[in-house]
């Protein structure tokens, strides 16, 4: 397959024809698995940078077999990385697919409709909900995917530590960001695994080791210190409140360690710009405490901790 065709996407709207060529290439037995992963990686990275092409919003494109292959490949790589290291090519494909999924779900997640007819009950009553049935989050975040996502959080990320820029943290941080932005995911399925990450020793260890010289958060820090607490704050149902109550005491006990090490920076009038990351990290912890304090079932933990 001529990869120059892929790079012409920025000046074309013919996404369907490109996807047909990709499917033909991937189904060719003459190409080995690494060739297929390489092509898929290049395509996903290129498509992730395109957010203006309206073809992405068309139902024929959203239903294209290309996205089924992307979804299945992503689930396969997520399954493997939970237990075994990925090859360099697999890591690049894993990262590239997650970039594309993020771009599609955050910027192209609904089918384009005609405002005056498609969603107007008076003019089009029989098709009132027709154009809301399909979205990219439903394509990629299937029940099987959610099960794999929960498993890697519980059995790996909350238990084992990896290098700060490991592809696992990059991808999971990106996925949790999607869940936070869309706020559509079934929280009851995921909340327990996210809380397990917050309760792990890794979370508090990151507060103890965050450096003065950091200009930005690493993917590992972003996932544990920002995305996980953000996800928790979005949960609004009885089961989540009960699970959070079990965690609240541990979170409160983190306070002395975090404040003793970092709070002086917040009130330092001569703060260095490099300390902005630390200040934001402390602010996110305070926001998490505030979230717990506003829940009736967890408010008593603050009283008991005095």
For 264-306, write each residue's pLDDT tens digit: 665 554 455 455 777 788 888 888 888 888 877 777 777 666 5
Lowest average pLDDT, out of 25-29, 47-51, 122-126, goes to 122-126
Answer whether residue 97 shows pLDDT above 80.
yes
**How many domains is the chain built from?**
2
pLDDT value of position 305:
64
The domain in which residue 93 lies consists of: 1-140
Whether residues 125 and 229 share a domain: the answer is: no
Which tops the pLDDT comparison, 12 or 106? Answer: 106
Among candidates 99, 120, 3, which has minimal Cα distance to 51?
A: 99
Residues 290 and 196 both lie in one domain: yes
- The tens digit of pLDDT for each residue in 243-262 reads 677 778 778 878 777 877 76
Asked if residues 15 and 55 have their Cβ atoms less than 8 Å apart, the reply is yes
In a domain, 297, yes or no: yes
**Which of 74, 109, 140 is where one domain is finished?**
140
Mean pLDDT of the chain: 81
Give yes or no: residues 110 and 211 share one domain: no
Pick from 10-14, 77-81, 221-225: least confident? 10-14
Please tell me the distance from the alpha carbon of residue 35 to that of residue 138, in angstroms, as a whole number. 28
pLDDT for the residue numbered 49: 80
Q: What six digits make up the tokens of 61?
A: 């494109």
Residue 124 in domain: yes
50, 52, 53, 57 alpha-carbon torsion, rounded to 10°: 110
Q: Are 105 and 137 in contact (CB under 8 A)?
A: yes
Q: Are residues 213 and 286 in the same domain?
A: yes
Q: Is 163 a domain residue?
A: no
In a domain, 161, yes or no: no
Whether the pLDDT of residue 117 is over 50: the answer is no
**Whether 74 contacts 97, CB under 8 Å:** yes
Structure tokens belonging to residue 90: 């697999």
Residues 129 and 234 in one domain: no
The pTM assigned to this predicted structure is: 0.83
150: in domain: no
One domain, residues 114 and 223: no
Locate 40 and state its tokens: 């898929």
pLDDT of residue 297: 72
Does 233 fall in a domain? Answer: yes
Is the pLDDT assigned to residue 3 strictly greater than 60? no
In a domain, 175, yes or no: no
Q: What percent of the chain has pLDDT over 90?
A: 36
CA dist 224 → 17, 143, 157, 199, 304 (Å): 41, 24, 10, 10, 26
User: Does residue 91 share a domain with residue 226?
Assistant: no
Residues 9 and 131 in one domain: yes
**Nearest Cα residue to 254 out of 292, 196, 180, 201:** 201
CA-closest candidate to residue 137, choices 101, 168, 100: 101
pLDDT range class, residue 12, cuts 50, 70, 90: low
């Amino acid at each position: 397959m001529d990869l120059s065709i892929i790079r012409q996407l920025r000046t074309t709207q013919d996404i369907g024809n490109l996807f047909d060529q990709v499917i033909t290439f991937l189904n060719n037995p003459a190409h080995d698995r690494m060739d297929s992963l390489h092509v898929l990686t290049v395509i996903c990275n290129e498509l992730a940078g395109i957010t203006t092409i309206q073809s992405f919003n068309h139902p024929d494109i959203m239903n294209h077999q290309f996205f089924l292959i992307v979804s299945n490949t992503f689930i396969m790589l997520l399954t493997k990385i939970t237990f075994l290291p990925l090859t360099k090519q697999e890591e690049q494909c894993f990262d590239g697919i997650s970039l594309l999924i993020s771009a599609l779900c955050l910027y192209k997640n609904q089918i384009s409709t005609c405002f005056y007819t498609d969603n107007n009950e008076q003019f089009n009553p029989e098709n009132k909900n027709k154009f809301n049935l399909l979205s990219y989050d439903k394509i990629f975040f299937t029940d099987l995917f959610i099960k794999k996502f929960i498993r890697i959080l519980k059995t790996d990320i909350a238990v084992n530590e990896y290098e700060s820029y490991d592809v696992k943290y990059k991808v999971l941080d990106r996925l949790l960001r999607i869940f936070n932005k869309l706020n559509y995911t079934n929280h009851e399925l995921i909340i327990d695994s996210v809380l397990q990450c917050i309760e792990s020793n890794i979370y508090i260890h990151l507060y103890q080791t965050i450096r003065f010289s950091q200009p930005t958060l690493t993917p590992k820090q972003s996932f544990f210190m920002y995305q996980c607490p953000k996800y928790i704050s979005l949960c609004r149902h009885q089961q989540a409140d009960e699970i959070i109550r079990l965690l609240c005491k541990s979170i409160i006990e983190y306070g002395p360690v975090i404040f003793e090490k970092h709070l002086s920076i917040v009130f330092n009038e001569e703060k260095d710009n490099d300390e902005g990351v630390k200040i934001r990290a402390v602010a996110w912890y305070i926001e998490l405490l505030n979230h717990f304090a506003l829940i009736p079932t967890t408010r008593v933990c603050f009283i008991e901790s005095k």
